[in-house]
Amino acid sequence: MVARQIELKQTLLEHPDVPKVIETVVRTALDDTHENQTAAQKILMDRILPISTFDKGTDFKERINITISTIPIKVEKVINEL
């Protein structure tokens, strides 16, 4: 069963019409007069924006934060004394 699911997923990802389908969904989501605009927007939002970002029960302390900083290098000027 799992092998069949993987095969189906691979077939869907490699199908030559995938870009056309994505373009159609995006166009529909942006068309204010299209009757399926809301459904297209929901599909896109479910796939693009992780809903856990807005979940009230999410503990933001569990996030991983990476801070990259540099240490300033002091340039010392040497003056030759005569």
Q: Where along the chain do its domains lie? A: 2-62
* Integer Rg of the chain from CA: 26
Please give the C-alpha separations between residue 4 and each of 9, 16, 17, 43, 67, in angstroms, as whole numbers.
Answer: 9, 20, 21, 24, 43
pLDDT band, residue 55 (cuts 50/70/90): low
Q: What is the mean pLDDT of residues 59-74?
A: 71
User: Any idea which residue has 């870009």 for tokens?
Assistant: 19
> Residue 80 has what pLDDT?
73
